[in-house]
Structure 1
Amino acid sequence: MDWRGIVGELGRSATSARALLAACLLFPTPLVAQIAPPGFGGLKHVRWGPDEGAPNGVFKITQTRDGYIWLAGDALYRFDGISFERIDWPAGAARRRVEPTGLLASRDGALWVGLGGNGGVAMYRGGQLLDTHMPTPPASIGPMAQAPDGSIWVASGRFDTQLRRLRGGKWESVGEKLGRPEGAVMGLVIAPDGGVWIALTHQGGNSGALAYLAPGKTRFQLLPDRVSGRPRIALDPSGALWVSDGTGTRMVRDGHGRVPARAIQFPSAPNVRSATLSFDRQGGLWRTTASIGISYIPSAAGATATAYPFDAANGLTSDFSYDLFVDREGSVWIATETGIDQFRRASATQELAIPADPVHGLALAGASDGSVYIESNDTLFRIAPGGAPRPILKLDGSNLSMCRARAGGIWIAQNARTLHVVGDRIETAPGFPSQGTSTHCAEDGQGRLWVAIFGEPLVWRDARGWHHAAGVLAQQRVWDMIATPSGGIAFTGRPNLTTLEGNRLTLRQGFGTATMIAAGTRDIFLSDDKGLVRLRDGKLARLDQSRFPWLIWLRSLVQTERGETWLVARTGISRVATADLDRAFQDPHAPLPRTLFNSQDGLVSAAQHAGFAGLQSTVAGDGRVWFLNRQGAGYFDPATLKGNALPPPVTIRSLTSGGHSWRDPGSLILPPGTRALDIAYAGLSLAVPQRVHFRYRLDGVDDGWVDAGARRVASYANLGPGHYRFQVMAANNDGVWNRSGAEVGFEIRPTFVQSWPFRLLCAAALIALLWLAYSMRMRVVASRIRLRMAERFEERERIARELHDTLLQAIQSLTLRFQLAVDDLPAKQPGRPALLQAIDTADRVIAEGRDRVLDLRSRQAADIEQVIRELIARQGFSPDVEICVAINGTPRALDALALEETGRIAGEALFNIWRHACARRVEVEIDHDASFALRIADDGVGIDPELAARGRTGHYGLAGMRERARRLRGSLVIRPSADQGTELLLTVPGGIAYKAEERSLLARLWSRG
């Protein structure tokens, strides 16, 4: 769709409504907010009714030091700016169904709740309501107040003389003692000096009285001032006492306690019998009516102050308004029958004197004297610096353009006439020579007035009259136009951006649909669907939407002497520092901080849509930034734009887990097995609660601070037992952080399976399983070793049988035959001795063969000591060598295979001692324990450690010993002794070393301890 074809149909006549609607669809605008009634134009109104979760029937409202708004209705509620939370009595409490009748926020941060039904007074602390145990409480608690000394004063809400005081933690009845006059107490106020004011109504409610207890006095004194109906009282910021009754609202005592020198009184609205009152920080007086909404007097001390009404027709939650309160940030809160309302100072002010004209649109121009001119509904308004809009001229609005005149004032260009307006003076000249629709005008540095006519060439006017553009300039089609800071003109159209400096024309293309062309203090700016473009010194630069999406489709830009740049867009109005904007153009990584103003700041509409060309904002001589919108015109006053410097109080609202919730938790111990929980928190800045920003972290879980944005709940899962600390901090609507924040500590107790005893049991069970696995493995290994050894011994026995049954038998048979042959030879036969000698040798061979066959067979002895002693005897040590054999533990029979290998190792060791050690003492220790151990030591010449570790080249005795030990899955250590000599230590697992029956016995002994 060609947008030029759409806007070409636009005009300033009623017949353009259909085309205007099309342009609105192409360039949508924000939803329009309701315009405030007179007197409330500088205030932002926010309401919470039943649809927003507000409770019904709220008649008391206050704020505690932690920032919560507290409401009394059918129950007690607290409000954090987002959600309402009902506060009930603890389960099983005797007064669980008693409704609150009064609220007091004391200076120490506690909340005191007056109760009906003889409930007395309760205090909120530690997340729950606690009874203060007032003795014989009255039927209903009325007004409450706190004195400078910290004592709490409580008046009965009935027609009696009861007055209670809580001092030093004890309740005392002081009504009769202090001579409290009769009547129901409608108001109770304590002055900064400790004086006590009470307002009373008598039976029937037609008359009342004021009484005062001066500091240090012991009796109340009735004031002579006459009051009627049900009077209410309040102190203004100066300490003066005001009363509101059936006749109106007036000051009865000044800040010094004297009758005011000048009577200040505001009449009451009809049918108002009782109106609560309070003063805001600017001295404005607010009143409820309980029947017809509220009223507001901007300056109660002014001689000509006016009371402005505000009711349900204007957006109040209900005309039945009961109570009001001014919070720590200056907002005024109203309690009504169906919810609560908030009024606060708005950043933007909609000027009600300038009407809306959504069909034909509004035009705007600023003059060099600081005046601002706005045309709406065929009326020209002038706004002098510091002044209010005044209508100065009735116009024919068709085909009208407005722009600044360099000689002062403004130009109004029409085809019928051209007007030069300076102040209130108007000069008339002939109109431009065309019946087309003018979109905008601009005067260049040479004094030429240029007018853009849609669909036609430019026209311009100088001292000689009107002229049509010629040449290339005549071919340009112009939609919007501005005067440049350098004295030229610039306009958008086809092509997208054209500048005319003197007689030099520059055409630039390649832009998207332009919705704005504006002049800064030194630059030209253009906005389209891709971002913001700056033209400086003939060079273009762009801030792309990928960096700053909010810079697309701007409608206006204006720069002030304060170093601020205001950007008007369809989503709101942004304020940035001009230096930051320049830096963003120069550095592709530079940020562009902004302050966004939208409906939450009082904007009823951000901008006119792009179907209307011409200037959309300007800076007045008083510094106010004026802008046009679909509801008329509004402005910002930077001099009064005060940021919210109060860091928001931060609180932990609740911790919820497993269906249980702990309100205002301190230090908690959570049930064993808790895995998931939710932590709700609040940042109690109530000016714009939607803009409160949070960061939180849970020590031990979060690596750093989590940016939660506006989210007010932190959820965690898969938590284990341990101690945790949750911290949260918040920033208010202007980015002021409360970095101290709030925190809550909690402990998750372990379940039995998460406890240390269970872990120890698991460790013991694991050790037992490992030991069982090890034992089973050793049994398998021992079984395999025995199997292999049995196979070897069976093979050896088979070889021994074969040798005995074949070779030895054959040799013996052969020897007998030789013996028979020798016996037949004569004694003197020469060869007979040689044969006899051969037969003797054969006998020795047979004997040795029998010994070897015996060695090949399995040993039958199972006593290792016997084997060792046989080896010692066979070795033939010298008698001078002392040999000691020691047995430790109960001797056990060794497995035949282990006995064989152990004996071979011991034999090799004893042989080496006999041959190489030159020892004089040999010690043999045999240990029968869970594992079998054999130690053989001597005091000989010792052994080289390198030789003990590696053995001698070409000799295999030590290597064979280690191989035998490995086959037994044992360990063998050969090392020099500490003093001298050599030590051998062989260790074999009991599962391999001992016979099966010995192993069973050992297991039984271990099980018995």
Structure 2
Amino acid sequence: MAQATRPVTAGSITDRPTVVRWTMDEGLPHNLVHALAQDRDGLLWIGTWEGVARFDGRAFTVFDRQNTPGMEMSGVFAIVPERDGGVLVGTAYDGVFRYAGGAWEHLGDARAQRLQVASMLRDRDGVLWVGSEDGLFRIEADGRLTAAGAAAGLPKTRIAALLQQTDGSVLVGTAQGLFRLDPATGRARRWGRTEAMRTAPVRRLSRDRDGGLLVAGDAGVFWLHADGALQWLRQGQRVDAALQDRQGQLWMSLSSGQLLRRPSSGVSEEMLSISGVVSPALIEDREGLIWAGSTDGLFRIAVGDAGGLTRHDGLGGDYVRVVQQSADGAVWIGHAAGLDRWQHGRIATLRIAAAGRDPSVLALAAANDGGMWVGTYNQGVLLLAPDGAVRQRLGTEAGIPQGMVRALLQDADGGLWVGGNAGLAYRNRGRTRLYTLADGLPALQVQALYRDRAGVLWIGTSDGIAALSADGTLRRWPAGAAFPAHNAFDFLEDADGALWIASDRGLLRLRDGRFRTYDHRVGLPRDKLFRVIDDGQGHLWVTSNQGVFRIARDSIAQLDAGRRTQLAVDVVDRSDGMPGSQGNGSSAPAGWLSRDGTLLIPTSAGLALIDPALPSRHSLRAPAVVIERLQVDGREQPLRADYRLPGSVGRLSVDYAGLSFRSPDKVRYRYRLHGFDRQWIEAGSNEEAVYTNLPPGDYRLEVQATTNAMDWSRSDLVGRASLQLDVVPPFWQRGPFVVIAAIAFSGLLLWWYRGRSHRYLRRQRRLNRIIAERTHELRAKNLALKLADFEREELVRKLAYQAGHDALTGLPNRRTADPHLTAALEHARATQSPLCVALLDIDNFKRINDSYGHEIGDEVLRRVGEVLRATLGEHAFAARHGGEEFLLVLPGLDREQARARLDDLRHRVAAIVVHDVDGRTVQCTASVGFACVSPALQSRRELLVLADQRLYQAKHEGRDRVVG
């Protein structure tokens, strides 16, 4: 038993920040990020060594000398958003640029345009202060550059930070200390409570959430609180930037290249793992996210709605299939590499294999004695004690069918239900009964078991559901007319007796014998759902391959009553801190509500932990919507609130963005051109609206965005932006011209009409006769052509099937088998998954033909083909390779699994009994040789040659055996 060395609790996991990185590969102009800011509209601006970029959460818009004439932005060290929506960009060698309304302006005179900008401040009076490598300057309204620092008595040194105080004075952080510039006198003096605060080099000035002051520099961080208290943090260590977020946490960029998080309690500090050397670029955005720059790109740090438990925390494997909490509070976690037990902050990996590697765990169920029943991929069912020790093993010797165990359930009387790929087994008092298709199951693959309050056992299969009553009556709902889905993955009984079913066609509810489907048409992001859980707080949680969905119960009732058209759904996925968005199905239970209220969700990348209350904290906000670009016939226009366009416009395109940096992939859009569109255009995640050949008129384009799973009824969660468009008609479409032209045209039309009408009537009569004759001829020809096409298509289909299949056995022939084997080999090599190839030959087949006749030989071949189809299942492949020889392709099976499968197949062939016309019994056996893919055995030819050699060996050793 292996155990994690450090405590891991649900609280520590859900509070763990997640870090997302963007680099040049995602669109940054350069990986070295110097400056960050968020403008009035909510867009993020990033200053790099090779230009500036604007970010909307999905894509970067880059501005540099390559795409913007007159731009010289090699090295952007300062960015300042302005109240009017403009953005100031300070560069390393070329002064200050201003962006507003889609246009750029180079500020100041020739001297100003050569400034080496390190910091900037637009004060409340509109004065632009610029800190440079050579002191403090002002760019006046007329463009003149004034040496404000020299006049104020400041040293001629690097001005790294500027901050205006409430009294109008300006704090100036320099390489020689902190100064206060008095606007009344125009003079600057050293400022600070201590000598170190006054004289140490300053790197960054910022306000805390209460109005206090943070001074970051070479001596550490001086924190002057609003109540006058002074703290000196990180004494003697250079700190390039410091900020306090809205949660009260303090973030510091250290000169050592690390990002430090200090909680509001100040009890402990955490170094965050950010690659590269962290730069002074550090901000908090309006969503409470922390953004940092480094030599390796842009980073977003967030505490989301979820956390994850992975190998990093001590899990034995990240591909988690099932999870369940036992009576003693322990959480059992089944994954592709085995089973873990999590209790008291410790994760223990349990060794459950009788020998060799631990099997993949697909099912869990609480045992009546406090232990846990465990269903495996290929080692049957295990009973584990509460401490994880294996007490009992149930396999084929106990009547449990061989293969994957997907669902388990123990009754109060000790009876155990086992669902798998070969049906449903019930074991009690040492006896086992197997339920199959013959007993009424809709399909052999059983993947969900649930006992309702009335004692009915609900059975979910891959092709419908069934219900087994206490009296032994089995009722089935096969997929199709009876059941509105194929796969049923989970059940949940409601308080009113209704049954919720997670299926591959949405969330189903069975009430009073009728099914109701809730799917993408009523607001669910995905239809394929694996698990349904009631959190007891008014929500249902369902898992999927693209996150976990929280559905408000009251919205279901309102939808049923016709008071709304969409469900209220929140989505939690990888962007919220889950280790992965892909949930897992066909295993049970694929999710659990723990005693402390935490949702435990298996994913392909670890175990997700979700506090059901957290989505209310982060997700419930309307994303700001910005219009990013407007193009008229391919030409970009300056951004403004209204446009007057000529009537000759052919194509109008508008790019927009809904700003949700926490979950940009959740943003969904709709738009409407009022005055043109009769209803809203659902745009999904598309961020462009296009119109062509708009008629003249007054229009208003409105764009809406939401992250609330397209629930447009929640107006408080919908962001909006609009544009006014006036399409002016050309002169020939205006009133006076139209009236005159209409009168003239009417007179001309009347004269022409009278001259043409008489000739038209004569021609019309003649044409009517011709049309009637031709129509009759065409109908006859069309009918003949349709009949010929149908016969030709039917013949082609039959010929194609016959060319690829053996007429006697119905199996694919060698022509079909060869490309299938090649494809299986390529997939095995690409995914590094096991693959075995076998050749099966009927023993003494010539003697059967000679002794009983070819009709009996043909019957033996047909029966062997039926056994192959029934035994191998949907994932394996069988083909007639020639004569009495068959090719078998077994993907996903290692050597021992393949040997077991083939040996079972050999026994089934030996069980075939055929009677000839004289009543004589004809029995047959088969020899099998197989080979598996290995580093030394990769090609199709090598596999077939080795399999053939081993087939020969099986024949030589006495037949009726498997060699491989």
What TM-score does the superposition give when structure 2 sets the normalisation length? 0.61
Deviation at 1:626, TM superposition (A): 0.5
Counterpart-to-counterpart distance in 1, 2:259 and 2:708: 28
Post-superposition Cα deviations, 1:449-492, rounded to whole Å, max 9, x if no partner, equal 6556875974556xxxx532459799787655344445665444
Alpha carbons 2:214, 2:222 under 8 Å: kept = yes
Post-superposition shift, 1:305?
1.6
The answer to whether structure 1 residue 295 and structure 2 residue 259 are counterparts is yes
Matches within 5 A, 1:8-19: none
State the partner residue of 1:517: 490
Query: Quick one: which of 664, 668, 671 aligns to 1:696?
Result: 671
**Percentage identity across aligned positions?**
22
Partner of 1:259: 230
Number of the residue aligned with 2:762:
none
Select the residue among 30, 34, 39 that pairs with 1:64: 39
C-alpha separation between the residues in 2 aligned to 1:633 and 1:141?
48
Pairing 1:225–2:196 present: yes
Would you say 1:235 and 2:202 are equivalent positions?
Answer: no
Return the match for 2:133 from 158, 163, 168.
158
Q: Which has the larger radius of gyration?
A: 1
Aligned to 2:341: 381
1:33 corresponds in structure 2 to: none
The partner residue of 1:372 within 331, 349, 361 is: 331
Of 398, 403, 417, the residue aligned with 2:365 is 403
Aligned to 2:788: none
Report the Cα distance in structure 1 between the residues aligned to 2:14 and 2:142, rounded to whole angstroms.
45
Query: Could you report, residue by residue, the CA deviation over 1:926-968 in whole angstroms, capped at 9, with x for unpaired residues?
Result: xxxxxxxxxxxxxxxxxxxxxxxxxxxxxxxxxxxxxxxxxxx
Distance 1:228 1:608, change over 3 A: same
Does residue 271 of structure 2 align to residue 307 of structure 1?
yes
What's the offset of the Cα at 1:697? 3.5
Q: What is the distance in 1 between the residues matched to 2:53 and 2:286?
A: 19
| Corresponding residue number in structure 2 for 1:79 | 55
Q: Does residue 633 in structure 1 map to residue 607 in structure 2?
A: yes
Partner of 2:852: none
Q: Distance in 2 between matches of 1:760 and 1:380?
A: 85
Distance in 2, matches of 1:174 and 1:371, equals 68
* Distance verdict in 2 for CA 1:754–1:188, change over 3 Å: same
Q: 1:460 to 1:360 in 2, by over 3 A?
A: farther
Kindly indicate whether residue 688 of structure 2 is the aligned counterpart of residue 713 of structure 1: yes
Aligned-residue offset at 1:65: 1.3
Which of 692, 707, 723 lines up with 1:744 in the alignment?
Answer: 723
Residue pair 2:53, 2:60 contacting (<8 A) in 1 also? yes
Question: Which aligned pairs between 1:603-1002 and structure 2 lie closer than 5 A?
Answer: 603-607=578-582, 609-610=584-585, 613-641=587-615, 642-670=617-645, 673-721=648-696, 723-732=698-707, 737=715, 741-749=720-728, 751=730, 753-754=732-733, 762=741
In the other structure, the counterpart of 1:442 is: 409
Matched-pair contact (CA < 8 Å) for 1:458–1:468:
no
Q: Indicate the SS of the match to 1:275.
A: strand
> 2 CA distance for matches of 1:209 and 1:664?
42
**d(CA) in 2 for partners of 1:356, 1:172:** 63
Q: Residue 761 and residue 197 in structure 1: after superposition, are their counterparts in 2 closer, same or farther (change >3 A)?
A: same
Query: Aligned residue for 1:275?
Result: 240
Structure 1 CA distance, aligned partners of 2:351 and 2:456?
31
Contact preservation (8 Å) 1:106, 1:146: yes
Q: Which residue identity lines up with residue 517 of structure 1 in the other structure?
A: D
CA contact under 8 A between 1:326 and 1:333: conserved in structure 2?
Answer: yes
Superposed displacement of residue 617, structure 1: 0.6
Local SS of the residue matching 2:628: strand
**Cα contact 2:652–2:691 (8 A) shared by 1:** yes
Counterparts of 1:378 and 1:768, CA distance in 2: 91
Number of residue pairs aligned between Structure 1 and Structure 2: 705
Secondary structure, aligned partner of 2:597:
coil
Aligned equivalent of 1:189: 163
Q: Check 1:169–1:765 CA distance in 2 against 1; reply closer, same or farther (3 A cut).
A: same
Work out whether residues 547 and 581 of structure 2, in 8 Å CA contact, stay in contact via their aligned partners in 1.
Answer: yes
Q: Deviations over 1:478-533 (max 9, x none)?
A: 65534444566544469964555656553425247545233345555545555555
Per-residue deviation at 1:561?
Answer: 0.7
* Equivalent position of 1:143 in the other structure: 119
In structure 2, the partner of 1:506 is: 474
Counterpart contact for 2:36–2:47, Cα < 8 Å:
yes
Kept in 2, the 8 Å contact 1:154–1:164? The answer is yes
Partner of 1:467: 430
Q: How far is the alpha carbon of 1:563 from its aligned partner?
A: 2.3
Q: Partners of 1:40 and 1:246 in 2: how far apart? A: 34
How well do the aligned residues superpose, as a CA RMSD in angstroms?
5.0
Q: 1:470 to 1:133 in 2, by over 3 A?
A: closer
How many angstroms apart in 1 are the aligned matches of 2:577 and 2:720?
Answer: 29
CA distance in 2, matches of 1:349, 1:341: 18
Cα distance change, pair 408–134 in 1 and its aligned pair in 2 (3 A): farther
What is the rounded CA distance, in whole Å, between the counterparts of 1:752 and 1:536 in structure 2? 65
The aligned counterpart of 2:99 is 124
1:555/1:607 contact within 8 Å kept: no
Cα separation, partners in 2 of 1:302 and 1:290, compared to 1, 3 Å: closer
Counterparts of 1:454 and 1:703 in 2: how far apart (Å)?
52
In 2, Cα distance between equivalents of 1:390 and 1:215: 62
Q: Deviation at 1:576? A: 1.6
Q: What amino acid sits opposite 2:61 in the alignment? A: E
Counterparts of 1:551 and 1:672 in 2: how far apart (Å)? 43
State the partner residue of 1:348.
Answer: 306
With over 3 angstroms needed to count, the CA separation of the structure-2 counterparts of 1:661 and 1:609, relative to structure 1, is closer
8 Å CA contact 2:669–2:684 kept in 1: the answer is yes
Shift of 1:622: 2.0
Relative to structure 1, the CA distance from residue 663 to residue 39 in structure 2 (aligned partners, 3 Å threshold; closer, same or farther) is farther
Equivalent in the alignment of 1:864: none
Deviation, structure 1 residue 128: 2.3
Moved more, 104-113 or 734-743: 734-743
Please state whether the residue corresponding to 1:276 is helix, strand or coil: strand
**Is the partner of 2:240 in helix, strand or coil?**
coil
SS at the partner of 1:555?
Answer: strand
Q: Which amino acid is 1:634 matched to?
A: A
Are the counterparts in 2 of residues 210 and 225 from structure 1 also a CA contact under 8 Å?
A: no
Matches within 5 A, 1:584-603: 591-603=566-578
Residues in 2 aligned to 1:399 and 1:660: alpha-carbon distance in whole angstroms: 58
Cα distance in 2 between the residues matched to 1:302 and 1:233? 21
Q: How has the CA–CA distance of structure 1 residues 239 and 505 changed in structure 2, closer, same or farther, with 3 Å as cutoff?
A: farther
Taking the aligned partners of 1:454 and 1:696, their CA distance within structure 2 comes to 48
Q: CA deviation at 1:585?
A: 8.3
CA distance 1:246–1:518, shift in 2 (3 Å): farther
Deviations 1:618-667 (A, max 9, x none): 10122211011222211211122224444333333333224532121244
Residue by residue over 1:705-762, the C-alpha shift from the partner in whole angstroms, topping out at 9 and shown as x without a partner, is: 4333333333223235555443333334565657783333344455554566755774
Conserved? CA contact 2:321–2:584, under 8 Å: no
Whole-angstrom distance in 2 between the partners of 1:173 and 1:275: 26
Checking the alignment, whether the CA contact within 8 Å between 1:617 and 1:627 is kept in structure 2 is yes
Contact residue 239 and residue 252 of structure 2 kept, 8 A: no
Displacement of 1:616: 1.4
Is the 1:520–1:557 contact (alpha carbons within 8 Å) kept by the matching residues of 2? no
Alpha carbons 1:607, 1:627 under 8 Å: kept: no
Equivalent residue for 2:29?
A: 55
Contact 2:456 2:468 in 1 (8 A): yes
Spell out the pairing of 1:555-570 with structure 2 (5 A cutoff). Answer: 555-570=530-545
In 2: Cα distance, 1:494 partner to 1:650 partner: 44
Shift of 1:246: 5.7
- Structure 2, gaps ≥5 residues long: 1-11, 480-484, 757-964
Q: Give the counterpart of 2:288 among 323, 330, 333.
A: 330
My pick for the range that moved more, 764-773 or 324-333, is: 764-773
Match of 1:180 among 140, 151, 154: 154
